C-alpha cells in the first residue's frame, strides 16, 4: 500500500531521500514505492523539485520517501542540484534532515554513477545503494557482483527494476531492516576528494565487481550516426514531426465524431425532457455547448502526447537537443534550454520550472521569457477548431493539408521563440554562449506502462480542467451572457438577446480594440475567459454563439457556424493571435515565483500582447488584400 503526498513542506520522522545521477530511474523507483505518478522520461532534467510520498511496509510501519532532482556531484551547479544538496544536508527551512539516503545508480552506467555514491559516503550518513535497471544490464550481458560491490563500498547494496511490479522487493526488505537497525554509515569527512581520486577509486571498484563494464560502451552507434548527423538527422527530425501532426488529424476523426455524437445526443435529450427555462439554457447553451465543445478535442491531444511520450521514453529527444544546439546557440540560447522548451509543448508551467537546470541566470531568464511561445496543448483545441472550419480536407502530395497547416503553426511558434530570444540576448540579456553538456541516454524500448500512465495522466489533467476551471468559467460566462434579460417587448427581430447581457455589453466595449484585427464582439468576449485557460476560448465561443441564437445546432457543431459567419481573414488573424497569445494567469504566477519579481511576468504579458496584436493585424490586412 502506498500514498503520494505531492510537495509537502514538512517531513515525518522516518524519512529516506532518493539521490542519484539524472536519468538513473529515481523517479520511476519513487513512483513504484509510493504509488505516485510523477513524470518519468529517458533523459536528464525531468525532475527539478523535490517530491514526497509515503510507503507502507509489510510490517505495518510507514516511511516517508523524498525524490530529489538528479545531481552529478555534491557541488551544486544549477538551482535544481542546489535543492538536492540542501535537502540531504538539512539546510531547507522547515524541513528535517532525512534519516537515511538511498543512492540510486544506473546499472548500465556505473562508471558515471559511482562517483556520486563515493561523495555521499563521505557525508557519514546511513546509506544504501540501489542498483537500478538491473534487467537492462543483464540484457546487455553485463554481470555485476553485488556482494563484492557491497564489500568494496562498505554499504548495503540491493538490486531494483523500477519498471516492474515487484522490482523494489529487496529495497522494501532493507527499509524494514533499517527501521530496526539503521544502515551503516562511513565516518564523515570534511576534506573534499579530487575528481581524479574519485575516478581512480571508481575504476578500482569496477575492475572488481564488473570487469566487463569498461568494454561495454554505449550501443547503437550506427543509429546515432544517422540520427545525429547534421543533415540527415534534421531530415529524420522533420519527418518524425511531420508524421506526428499528420496523425493528429488523420487518426482522431472517429473518436471525435463519437464525442460529438454523444454531446448532440445529450443536448437533444435535455431539450426533449426539460421545459424551457434558465436551467435548460444553462445545460444546453452553457455546459453542452461550452464544456462539450472543448471535450471533443481530447483525442487529438492524446494522440499528440502518445508520440511525445514515445520519443521521450525511447531516448530520441536528447539527440534532437544536440541536433538543435547549434541553432539555439546562434540565437543566444543555451543548449540546456531545449528540455524546458520541449516541456513547454505540453504546458509552459513545467517548462518554466525545468529552466532550473540552467546554471546561468541570463540564459535561464531568456528561456523563461520565450517558453510561452512554444505551442502548448491548450492551443490545440483552438487550432483544431479553426483548421477544421477553414482549411479544406484535401491531400497535398499525399499529405493532409490540415496536418500541414497544424505543423506550420507549431513551426511558427518555434521560429518566433528563436526570433524573440535572438532579440533578448542582443539587447537585454547579453551574455556568451553556454555550450550544451548533456548525458546521452541509451536507446530503450518504450515501456507500455509508462506510455499508458503518461496518457492517463494527460487525460486526467485534461478532464480535470474540463470539469473544473472550464466548467466554472462556462457557468459564469452563461450567466453573464444571459443576464440582464432583454427589455420588455423585445423580439428576435431586434437582434439576439445576448447583446443586452453583461457579456454582450463587454464584448461591444472591447470590440473597438479588436476590430482593427478583424475580431467581432463574440471573439472579444471569448478572449477574456481565455486568460484563465486558452482552451476555454473554444467553449466560450460555443456558449456565446449558442446564446446568440445564430443556429439551434450550435451546441452540437460550432465549426460550421463560424465557417459561415467569419471571413477567412478573421480566422487567419485569430490563428496568428494564438501563436503569440498572452499567457494564462497560472503561467504568469509561476514566472513570478521562479524570478521572485513581478517585473518579468508583467513584461512577458505586455510583449506577448503586442506581438499577438501585431501578428493578427498584419495577417488580417494581408489576407484581406489578397481577397480573403
Residue 226: all three cell numbers together: 544517422
Task: Give dist(CA 510, CA 517) in Å, integer.
Answer: 12
Percentage above 90 pLDDT, the chain: 14
- The whole-angstrom distance between residue 203's C-alpha and the CA centroid of its chain comes to 38
Task: Give dist(CA 270, CA 280) in Å, integer.
Answer: 7
167 to each of 157, 161, 171, 545, how far by Cα in Å?
14, 4, 9, 54
- Vertex 411 angle, CA 407 and 417, to 5°: 150
Phi, psi (degrees; rounded to nearest 5) at 169: -60, -45
Tally of residues, the chain:
628
DSSP H helical segments within 102-168, as ranges?
110-121, 134-139, 146-153
How would you classify residue 332: left for phi > 0, otherwise alpha for psi between -120 and 50, otherwise beta?
left
**Taking each helix axis from N to C terminus, what angle separates 585-595 and 599-625, rounded to the nearest 10 degrees?**
140
Task: Give dist(CA 274, CA 538) in Å, integer.
Answer: 26
Q: Using the predicted structure, report yes or no on whether residue 572 has a pLDDT greater than 60.
A: yes
3-state SS, one letter per residue, for 475-488? HHHHHHHHCCCCCC
Confidence bin at 1 (pLDDT 50/70/90): very low
Residue 77: all three cell numbers together: 551547479
Residue-wise pLDDT for 363-384, tens only, equals 888 889 999 998 887 788 888 8
For the ranges 254-258, 317-321, 609-613, the maximum mean pLDDT occurs at 609-613
Residue-wise pLDDT for 381-423, tens only, equals 888 888 988 888 777 777 778 888 888 898 899 899 989 988 8
User: Mean pLDDT across the stretch 219-226?
Assistant: 78
Q: Count CB atoms within 10 A of the CB of residue 225.
A: 11
**Pairing outcome for strands 15-20 and 62-67:** parallel
Q: Using the predicted structure, report yes or no on whether residue 8 has a pLDDT greater than 60.
A: no
More confident call, 425 vs 580: 580
At residue 58, the pLDDT reads: 83
Confidence bin at 9 (pLDDT 50/70/90): very low
Residue entry with cell 556505473: 110
Residue-wise pLDDT for 430-447, tens only, equals 666 666 666 677 787 887
Q: Are 119 and 93 in contact (CB under 8 A)?
A: no
More confident call, 117 vs 481: 117
Direct distance between the N- and C-terminal alpha carbons of the chain, in angstroms, rounded to an integer: 61
User: Mean pLDDT across the stretch 564-592?
Assistant: 87
- Vertex 242 angle, CA 237 and 245, to 5°: 130
Buried b (16+ CB within 10 A) or exposed e, 161-173: bbbeeebbebbbe
Phi, psi (degrees; rounded to nearest 5) at 104: -90, 125
Residue 222: all three cell numbers together: 550506427
Residue 400: all three cell numbers together: 493532409
Task: Give dist(CA 72, CA 603) in Å, integer.
Answer: 35
Structural domain boundaries in the chain? 15-215, 232-394+405-430+448-626
The CATH superfamily assigned to 15-215 is: P-loop containing nucleotide triphosphate hydrolases (3.40.50.300)
Amino acid at each position: 500500500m502506498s500514498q503520494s503526498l505531492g510537495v509537502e513542506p514538512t517531513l515525518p520522522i522516518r524519512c529516506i531521500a532518493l539521490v542519484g545521477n539524472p536519468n538513473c530511474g529515481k523517479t520511476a523507483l519513487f513512483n513504484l514505492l509510493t504509488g505516485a505518478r510523477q513524470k518519468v522520461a529517458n533523459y536528464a532534467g525531468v525532475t527539478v523539485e523535490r517530491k514526497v510520498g509515503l510507503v507502507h511496509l509489510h510490517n505495518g510501519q510507514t516511511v516517508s520517501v523524498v525524490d530529489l532532482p538528479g545531481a552529478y556531484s555534491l557541488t551544486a551547479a544549477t538551482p535544481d542540484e542546489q535543492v538536492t544538496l540542501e535537502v540531504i544536508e538539512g539546510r531547507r527551512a522547515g524541513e528535517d534532515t532525512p534519516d537515511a539516503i538511498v543512492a540510486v545508480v544506473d546499472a548500465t552506467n556505473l562508471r558515471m554513477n559511482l562517483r556520486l555514491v563515493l561523495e555521499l559516503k563521505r557525508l557519514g550518513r546511513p546509506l544504501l545503494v540501489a542498483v537500478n535497471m538491473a534487467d537492462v544490464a543483464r540484457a546487455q550481458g553485463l554481470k555485476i557482483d553485488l556482494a563484492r560491490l557491497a564489500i568494496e563500498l562498505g554499504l548495503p547494496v540491493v538490486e531494483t527494476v523500477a519498471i516492474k511490479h515487484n522490482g523494489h522487493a529487496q529495497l522494501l526488505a532493507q527499509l524494514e531492516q533499517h527501521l530496526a537497525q539503521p544502515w551503516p554509515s562511513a565516518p564523515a569527512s570534511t576534506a573534499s576528494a579530487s575528481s581524479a581520486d574519485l575516478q581512480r577509486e571508481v575504476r578500482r571498484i569496477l575492475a572488481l565487481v564488473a570487469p566487463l563494464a569498461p568494454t561495454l560502451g554505449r550501443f547503437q552507434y550506427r543509429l546515432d550516426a544517422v540520427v545525429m548527423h547534421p543533415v540527415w538527422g534534421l531530415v529524420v527530425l522533420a519527418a518524425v514531426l511531420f508524421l506526428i501532426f499528420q496523425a493528429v488529424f488523420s487518426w482522431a476523426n472517429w473518436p471525435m465524431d463519437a464525442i460529438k455524437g454523444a454531446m448532440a445526443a445529450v443536448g437533444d435529450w435535455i431539450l426533449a425532457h426539460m421545459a424551457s427555462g434558465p436551467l435548460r439554457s444553462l445545460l444546453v447553451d452553457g455546459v453542452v455547448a461550452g464544456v462539450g465543445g472543448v471535450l471533443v478535442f481530447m483525442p487529438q491531444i492524446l494522440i499528440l502526447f502518445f508520440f511525445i511520450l514515445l520519443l521521450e521514453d525511447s531516448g530520441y529527444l536528447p539527440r534532437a537537443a544536440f541536433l538543435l544546439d547549434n541553432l539555439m546557440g546562434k540565437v543566444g540560447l543555451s543548449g540546456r534550454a531545449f528540455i524546458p522548451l520541449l516541456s513547454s509543448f505540453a504546458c509552459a508551467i513545467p517548462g518554466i520550472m525545468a529552466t532550473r537546470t540552467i546554471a546561468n541566470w541570463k540564459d535561464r531568464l531568456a528561456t523563461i521569457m520565450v517558453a510561452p511561445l512554444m505551442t502548448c496543448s491548450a492551443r490545440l483545441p483552438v487550432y483544431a477548431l479553426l483548421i477544421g472550419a477553414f482549411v479544406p480536407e484535401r491531400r497535398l502530395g499525399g499529405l493532409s493539408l490540415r496536418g500541414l497547416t497544424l505543423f506550420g503553426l507549431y513551426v511558427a511558434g518555434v521560429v518566433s521563440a528563436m526570433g524573440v530570444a535572438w532579440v533578448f540576448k542582443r539587447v537585454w540579456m547579453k551574455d556568451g554562449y553556454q555550450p550544451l553538456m548533456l548525458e546521452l541516454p541509451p536507446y530503450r524500448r518504450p515501456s507500455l506502462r509508462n506510455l499508458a500512465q503518461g496518457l492517463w495522466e494527460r487525460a486526467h489533467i485534461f478532464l480535470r480542467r474540463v470539469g473544473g476551471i472550464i466548467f466554472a468559467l462556462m457557468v459564469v460566462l452563461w450567466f453573464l451572457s444571459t443576464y440582464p434579460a432583454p427589455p420588455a417587448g423585445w423580439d428576435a427581430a431586434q437582434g439576439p438577446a445576448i447583446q443586452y447581457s453583461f457579456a454582450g455589453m463587454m464584448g461591444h466595449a472591447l470590440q473597438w480594440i479588436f476590430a482593427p484585427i478583424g475580431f467581432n464582439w463574440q471573439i472579444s468576449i471569448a478572449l477574456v475567459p481565455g486568460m484563465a485557460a486558452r482552451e476555454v476560448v473554444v467553449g466560450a465561443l460555443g456558449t456565446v454563439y449558442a446564446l446568440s441564437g445564430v443556429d439551434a445546432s450550435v451546441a452540437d457543431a460550432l465549426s460550421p457556424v463560424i465557417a459561415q459567419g467569419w471571413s477567412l481573414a478573421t480566422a487567419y488573424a485569430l490563428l496568428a493571435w494564438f501563436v503569440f497569445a498572452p499567457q494564462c494567469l497560472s503561467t504568469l504566477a509561476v514566472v513570478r515565483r521562479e524570478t521572485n519579481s513581478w517585473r518579468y511576468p508583467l513584461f512577458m504579458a505586455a510583449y506577448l500582447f503586442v506581438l499577438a496584436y501585431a501578428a493578427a493585424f498584419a495577417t488580417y490586412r494581408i489576407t484581406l488584400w489578397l481577397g480573403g
